[in-house]
Amino acid sequence: MTERRYKFQGFVTLPHPEESTLPAGKLTRMTVLGERHGTHASHFFSALVANQGDGAEWCGESHAIVTVSLRGDDPGEFFSAGDHFSLWLGEQIADGVVTRRLFV
């Protein structure tokens, strides 16, 4: 298997927005949990996560659009449009869905 760079955009729900660890416009190293298509095996990836911070009012306080950049073996098997993922920073901080892949 070959390790590949992969970047995608996602829409996340923050269960505790008042304690948000997603500062607008900043990169944060986090762990991302994905589920493999077909086998449903879960896998953690180390990633850089950026909150777009575009101030989109339709997102509300408990939602955000993030960009996730990671490297791994066959990340496309875990993160395609419509797939669910979660962000971890010591504990699970958000649930999300992949909205689109960004090509690098």
Of 10, 22, 24, 7, nearest to 93 by C-alpha is 22
CATH of domain 3-102: 2.40.30.10
pLDDT at 4 over 70: yes
Give tens-digit pLDDT for 8-58.
999 999 887 666 667 677 888 999 999 998 888 999 999 999 987 655 554
Residue with the two structure tokens 């955009």: 9
**pTM of this structure:** 0.85
Annotated domain spans of the chain? 3-102
Give the chain's mean pLDDT: 85
To 10 degrees, the CA torsion angle through 69, 72, 76, 78? -90
SS3 content of the chain, % helix, strand, coil (to 5): 10, 55, 35
